[in-house]
Amino acid sequence: MGGNSNNNNISSAVGSGNSNAKLLQVLNVRVVGSGDRVLVLSHGFGTDQSAWNRVLPFFQRDYRVVLYDLVCAGSVNPDHFDFRRYTTLDAYVDDLLAILDALDVDRCFFVGHSVSAMIGILAAIRRPQLFLKLILIGASPRFLNDGDYHGGFERGEIELVFAAMEANYEAWVQGFAPLAVGADVPAAVREFSRTLFNMRPDISLFVSRTVFNSDLRGVLGLVRAPCVVVQTAKDVSVPVSVATYLKDHLGGRTTIDLLPIEGHLPHLSAPSVLAQALRRCLTCHHR
Amino acid sequence: MPTPVSNARACLAAEAAAALDDAVAVARRRAHVQTTSLHVVYALLHSSSAAAPAGGSGGGAGTSSAASCPILRDALSRARSSVYSPRLQFKALDLCFGVALDRLPSSSSGQRQTGEVGGDEPPVSNSLMAAIKRSQANQRRNPETFHLYQQQQQSAAAGGASSFPGVKVELQQLVLAILDDPVVSRVFGDAGFRSTDIKFAILRPPPPILRFPRATRCPPLFLCNFSAGDGFEAALTPLRPVLPFSPAAGHLCSDGGDENCRRIGDILARKEGGRNPMLVGVGAGEAARDFHLAVERQNWTILPPELRGIELLSIEKAAVELKPGSVDLSSVDARLEEMGRKGEAPGVVLNIGDLKDMVDGNAECDERERCLVSELTRLLEVYHGRLWVMGWSATYETYMKFLSRHPLLDKDWNLQLLPITSVRSGKGGSLTRPPSLMKSFVPLGGFFPTAYESKDPLLSVHPSSRCQHCDEKYEEEVSIILKGRSASVDQRDARLPFWLHQSNKVDLNDGSNAAKAEDDKTILNAKIMELQTKWNQNCQRLHNSCQRITDNFSGIPCALDPSCVLGVERACNKGSENPDETQNQRGFGTSLTMSVGTQKISMASQSISLPSVMEPRNKDLLSKLQVKFSKSEQLQKEGFQSYQGDDHASPSSVTSVTTDLVLGSLPESLSKEESPASKVKEGPLKEHFSCLPSADTVKTNVSGVPVSSFAYSGCHDSWAKSIYPSIPTQLSNGRTSTSDKPLLISSSIGKKFGLSNYKSFCKSLIDKVGRQEDAAIAVSQAIFHCRAGERRRGANWRGDIWLSFNGPDKIGKRKVAAALAELIYGSRQDNFICIDLSYQDGVARPNTICDQQEVSENDVQSRGKLNTDLIAAELRKKPHSVVFLDNVDKADPLVQNSLSQAIHTGRFPDSHGREFSINNAIFILSSGRTQGQNFSQKIDCNSFCEETILAAQSWQMKIFLEPSQEHISSSSKSNKVSCASSQELRYNQVYLQTDFSRKRKLDVYDDCNSHCETLISPKRARTVSKEFLDLNLPVEEIEANDHDSSSHGEYSKSQNSDPWIKEFFDLVDATINFRPFDFDALAKNLLKDISHIFCRAFGSESLLEIDQKVMEEILAVAWSLEDRGALDNWFEQVLGRSIIKAKHWSNLSSHHNVLRLVACEDASVDKYAPGVLLPLEIIIN
């Protein structure tokens, strides 16, 4: 850990930003749609950009939609995941900003799910001008309980989860996927299991540790962009109190959009409900 | 035209060329005309099978070039299906390829002899050459994998690429391309392999560790098999974390400290813009310390090169203790000047530490602080480029406070905010939680905290990172305690934190003491905690630096725990990279995994139960958003809101406990909160009662109830008469008999739609629907127009018809559509598609009567499906049908697209782009909006509006028996059955939000018909108040919410679909407007029936009071039912019987009675009466 970061493999090249084209390729960046406004869809932990497939058609007419994979996604070559670089969320933010720069996006709407919501928050802090609006789905600034803050998880529980992941990843996936999807939508469970299992287990564990070690509570106030917190009625990962916490602490004008559906992955389990909600969030920014 | 072998070989890298040579040799031996892909594969299989004994022995390829690697064989072994034994399958593969090769045409001997000079080698076939070209292109397109590949195969291949201008195809690429060859994949298929699987296996090589020659079988894909991702080098270098996962776990604990340092360094190295980092975030303090440590240890690798040799001075202490800042700064000044002279180091970073310390000071400190700040500003200007300032703050608020005290400081100092988000795992707790809590998760696997905490003692070694004064005193006191227990107490060492020293002693010299220490640990910990709190307080009072002390302390209980001593020690000596420790961790790891099983289960159950507790309140929150649907769940909603209020007031009570406790306490707090609320509700209620006698005087609005201007025909049988005038030609009654039969008109035949048919069609349509005569006539007209070819739209003739139904009476519209299906296509089951577009994904539809009566069968299938796909699927199933799309105005863009396309092209596309013909379909698009005439005022004036009826759910009903009270005498003029009308509801709505008390007086009771006297139902009043009065929220908030949601809804509606729907409705063949349904008349009718039944049972002395909710239920049923029979049955069987039962019950007090029929809104119906969605039994109370 001494920090000999002058490794010569590809992953360092990804970060250096000298080869944006390569980054776009590595992270499977896709731009679809024909609108004049740019919409970035950023998937969360355990999924990849295919998670947005069912939501995507709703936006292709009016938006230029940027899709990409987080470096930890199963669809990205695991060789690109540098365990020294992706120790904090900031590295993911670098990726996101590099992508947007490479695509010459100067302002965009950002939709982020779970981890990506955190990434979006950090990106908006770093580049306030870039983001017109953040839509945070299943977002949490901190997953662990801490004093007055109720994040939904105890450290001990989490360690158990990690241990379970470590012991038998497949079994863990089988158990976790239905829990996360929440709603009784077998197709969504199947899809989430697939993408979740696509992740290499060590990467998956590493990323979840990174996520659980992140604490954004101190910096929420730095966000200037208006935010919409999209929260489902029942989410195993994010209690509703977190949404109100976000609303209270995010620096921009923030609203909560509670969806009458269940689960942590509304874009899989109830795509059109989510799409409607997103459209609503996106269009009413003038007010 | 085959290619000479030499040309082909020129395109290949060494390995691949060798493979080609092998293939050529095979082809030559078999005397084939050309070398094909099959040969290459065959050669590859055999050259590798020479190395792997498992392979077949046939052929004896002989050449077995050293360069060829078992890449294909390896991939095959991973891609093969597990059903067969590997031996068998490989044997089969051999045979298949042998047979395939045998089938190839062989060259005649004569040809061979006359071949060209070099032509000893059979030339390369076109297909193989194409494969080579493909792979070449592929490789050129993807230089990255090329490099990657080269890196991995650090063999002779490395040199080849650079010397030639053309791309040399690597073996891997070649194999991939050859697998694409259909001939090859067919042969593989014969042998039971899928070439896609093989390709995938090649593309995703097994984890590096398996690439060692020994590893022949692939172990299961668990974590422990993976390296940390460094590839070969990592696996080969013994000093780096070698063993794949567990060291990675040590690695995983790496908390991004380096990353943070790197970021800080990046900011410091900036040339322009903000170059002085200001760390903000919960982990900011740690990050600052990490950075400090890195500079201290001269760990330059994580910092940009230009910062090498930088120095870091901390004036944190000065800032804290608020000694005159100039003293420190002058030393900085001096140091900088000296450095400037020597020109050695890049400069000095001045760490001002936690901003909180500066912000929280008192007035006297302010002066000094201002002094310090201005001095710093000056220095920064003077030594621009060589002096940096850094600080940190745990929260953004503190930083803002700091800035507000020193406006423009961020500009003056060139501050750059750096959000720090990663928190050290073990630390997260220790920062905010008392150590005792931390200990609570030590048992979970003792090693976690040790691993995480290993850095803390190191950190605290540094003098600058704590408040020394307090620390020393504290240490003294602790050591006194320790002295009492352990024999040898060493005084604190200047370098090592004393407790390490201490524990060393305990551990090494006095083993028994260690055991004793464990025994006494609890006492000791208690003492230490006591001390800690004491000194925390002291320190906070004196120096504002409690934070640092707690950091130090958190290590103590751990260090005293003998099991942890080792870890801490080692961490101190070697840091977390130590291989021993990782082994140690692994040891723990295995023991943990054993216990995981049970723990996991408990985890799962816990996480399941958590949401289930939260469910009710969540649901309520939602229902708040759904304006329409809000009525039925007021009780729960209130519960939630009161909970919310509680949450706001004292969040700590809920959240500070652990999850388990939260689970327990949530419902408690709910119920607790609820009871006062319900008490309050009771209050006004009683008042209501008391003001009842005066209710008569308030009855003002009797005539104000406008009966819909349309003659109400309701469910009577006599409707037919009223419509005759409006039908163009008088119909003879005799014809109805014919029209009762389905007309069975196939869509392609238009001539059947003659005038006479029109009449009968119209008649039977009206017959079937039972109301909405105008609409029915309009529909018939439109359909006959369309069928007759008078199309408004498009020159080309199409069979599809598009109608739009506008206006209220949702059920009526659906009935018309269903009747159309029956009349035109024959059956309302097989030819009727009814989809409500306002629901998405089959998501939990509200449990309303009107909906349940209709949709039920495709609920399960539709779950998770997009509406477009749903429609398309139905269309595919039933191409001859009436497609009734309700709430088109709420259609999502996908459906909008599909509909637009369908109306233009005659084909309906689903979301995957498949199209379905609609040539034989009638599309009916229904929306609540009205065009032209406006019925809305009329709806407004009705006592029952469509929305409330639509929202009615079937609740369990209850009959309350009340002995007579005096108010009965005042209102018991003649009538028996009364119903609280909804008129007052509307008034309440208006007034409630502004002033509750006023509203009570302004309740307007109306009396919707002359027979049934209306009596205000107290129950109703209560539900009203439940709905709108939330005592736990300020009035403004409710209003704001209300406003928000309503404007929200309107907004989205108008934004989303307004233009589309207008445009679209212009395209349809006909627009039919529907009239509002007269619920009042129906209610009157029903009440008459009920009163009849009641009179029979009870006589004239008593009163039956029907709750509004119940009335809505009954109305909803009556409205949506096909015929009244089932409802009449229910009146007789259920209601009548219940009333009689109630009479027996009340026999003791035979005089004036009041019966109240109410809905229990917390219990839905268990058993439905046959045919209606009403309870089978009514509870009598």
- The answer for residues whose C-beta is within 8 angstroms of residue B311's C-beta and 6 or more apart is B295, B335, B339, B345, B347, B348, B349
Query: Which residue type, as a one-letter code, is found at position B993?
Result: Q
Locate the chain A residue with the closest alpha carbon to B624: A258
Using alpha carbons, select from B556, B560, B580, B562 the residue that is nearest to residue B570: B580
Residues of chain B contacting A185 with CB distance shorter than 8 Å: 841, 863-864
Per residue in A51-82, is it b (16+ CB within 10 Å) or e — as a string?
A: bbebbbbbbbebbbbbbbbbbbbbbbbbbbbb
Which chain A residues have a beta carbon less than 8 Å from that of B619? 233
The confidence score (pLDDT) of residue B990 equals 26
Mutation for B interface: A34, A219, A248, most B CBs within 10 A = A219
Residue B641 pLDDT > 70: no
pLDDT tens profile B93-137:
888 888 888 877 776 544 444 334 445 677 888 888 888 887 777
Q: What are phi and psi of B242, to 5 degrees?
A: -90, -55
Domain residue limits, chain A: 3-283
According to the model, what pLDDT value does residue B253 have? 42
Among the partner residues B229, B444, B840, nearest to A272 by beta-carbon distance: B840
Both tokens of residue B225?
A: 């098999």
Q: Which residues of A are catalytic?
A: 114, 235, 264
Most confident of B366-370, B621-625, B938-942: B366-370
DSSP string, B859-902: HHHHTT--HHHHHHHHHHH-SSEEEEEE-GGG--HHHHHHHHHH
Q: Which residues of B touch A153 (CB under 8 A)?
A: 659
pLDDT of residue A109: 93
Task: Output the pLDDT for position B1040.
Answer: 39
- Residue B212's pLDDT band, with cuts at 50, 70 and 90, is very low
Q: How, if at all, do strands B921-927 and B801-806 pair?
A: parallel
Beta-carbon separation of B1055 and A89 below 8 A: no
Choice between B4 and B163, residue whose per-residue pLDDT is larger: B4
Q: How confident is the model at residue B520 (pLDDT cuts 50, 70, 90)?
A: low
CA atoms within 13 A on the CB side of B656: 9
Residue A230 · residue A281 · CB < 8 Å: yes
pLDDT of res. B818: 84
| Rounded to 5°, angle at Cα B817 from B814 and B821 | 135
B615/B986 Cα distance (integer angstroms): 31
Higher-pLDDT residue of B296 and B615 is B296
Calpha distance B371→B384 (Å, rounded): 20
Instruction: Give pLDDT, residue B647.
Output: 38
* C-alpha span between B571 and B554 (Å, rounded): 16
Say what the pLDDT of residue A65 is.
94
Pick among B151, B252, B448, B863 to test the A interface (most A CBs inside 10 A): B252
State mean pLDDT over B1161-1176.
73
Q: Which residues of A touch B663 (CB under 8 A)?
A: none
Q: What is the mean pLDDT of the segment spanning B282-300? A: 82
pLDDT-derived band of residue B634, with 50, 70 and 90 as boundaries? Answer: very low
Residue B843 is nearest to which of A58, A239, A270, comparing CB atoms? A270
Please judge whether A185 and B864 are an interchain contact, meaning their C-beta atoms are less than 8 angstroms apart: yes
**From B299, B445, B841, residue closest to A270, measured CB to CB:** B841
Contact A240 B621 (CB under 8 A): yes
Task: Pick A221's closest partner by Cβ from B396, B444, B894.
Answer: B396
Q: What are phi and psi of A172, to 5 degrees?
A: -65, -45
Nearest to A3 among B302, B395, B622 (CB): B302
Supply angle C-alpha B650, B653, B657, rounded to 5: 150
By mean pLDDT, which of B205-209, B261-265, B790-794, B798-802 is the weakest?
Answer: B205-209
B499 within 8 A of B479, measured Cβ to Cβ: no
Q: Does an H or E element contain B390, and which?
A: strand B387-393
**Comparing B60 with B416, which gets the higher pLDDT?**
B416
Cβ of residue A231 closer than 8 Å to a chain B Cβ: no
Q: For residue range B744-782, list pLDDT tens digits in order.
A: 333 333 444 555 677 888 888 888 777 788 888 888 888
Cα gap B245→B640, rounded to integer Å? 46
A positions 56-85 inside 8 Å of B (CB): 57-58, 61, 78-79, 81-85
Q: How far is B517 from chain A (nearest CA, A)?
A: 26
**pLDDT tens-digit profile of B899-917?**
888 888 888 888 777 888 8
Measure the CA dihedral B950/B956/B960/B966, to 10°: -10
B996 three-state secondary structure: helix
Report the range out of A59-73, B623-637, B800-814 with the highest average pLDDT: A59-73
Coil, helix or strand at residue B806 = strand
DSSP-assigned states of every residue in A204-256: HHHHHHHHHTB--GGGGGG--S-EEEEEEEE-SS--HHHHHHHHHH-SS-EEE
| Disruptive mutation site among A54, A202, A223, A282 for chain B (greatest number of B CBs within 10 Å) | A202
The verdict on a CB contact (< 8 Å) between A155 and B867 is: no
Task: Kindly list the residues from chain A whose CB atom is less than 8 angstroms away from the CB atom of residue B863.
Answer: 184-185
Tell me the chain B residues in contact with residue A221 when contact means C-beta distances shorter than 8 Å. 395-397, 400
Mean pLDDT of chain B: 60
Inter-chain touch A216–B394, beta carbons under 8 Å: no
Q: Residues B564-577: pLDDT tens digits? A: 334 334 434 443 34
Interface residue of B841, B847, B887, B1033 to substitute, partner A, most A CBs within 10 Å: B841
Q: A3-283: which CATH number, 3.90.550.10, 3.40.50.1820, 3.40.50.720, 2.40.50.100?
A: 3.40.50.1820
Contact A236 B429 (CB under 8 A): no
Q: How confident is the model at residue B437, as a pLDDT?
A: 36
**Beta-carbon-side half-sphere exposure of residue B13 (alpha carbons within 13 Å):** 27
Identify the segments of chain A with pLDDT beneath 50: 1-17, 286-287
Contact A123, A52 (CB under 8 A): no
Give the ipTM.
0.77
Q: Tell me which chain A residue has its CA closest to the CA of residue B441.
A: A156
Residue-level pLDDT at B667:
39
Q: Three-state SS string across B233-287, please?
A: HHHHCCCCCCCCHHHHHHHHCCCCHHHHHHHHHHHHCCCCCCCEEEEECCCHHHH
Helix (H) or strand (E) holding A111: strand A108-113
Q: Which of A34, A83, A200 to mutate to test the interface with B (most CBs of B within 10 A)?
A: A83
Could you say which of A157, A209, A271 has the minimum Cβ distance to residue B841? A271
- Contact list in A for residue B669 (CB cut-off 8 A) is none
Interface touch A88/B259, C-beta < 8 Å: yes
Residues 142-161 of A with CB under 8 A from B: 142, 144-150, 152-157, 159-161
What is residue A115's predicted lDDT score, i.e. its pLDDT?
A: 92
* DSSP codes joined into one string, B127-173: HHHHHHHHHHHHHHH-HHHHHHHHHHS-STHHHHHHHSSSPPBPHHH
Distance from C-alpha of B155 to C-alpha of B826, rounded to nearest angstrom: 77
Is pTM beyond 0.80? Reply is no
Distance CA B439, CA B449 (A): 9
* A87/B245 touch (CB, cutoff 8 Å), yes or no: no
Overall average pLDDT of the B237-242 stretch: 35
For residue B169, pLDDT over 70 is answered with yes
In B427-515, the DSSP E strands lie at: none
Residues on chain B touching A175 (C-beta within 8 angstroms): 604
Q: What is the DSSP letter of B1155?
A: E
Min Cα–Cα distance to chain B from A202, Å: 6
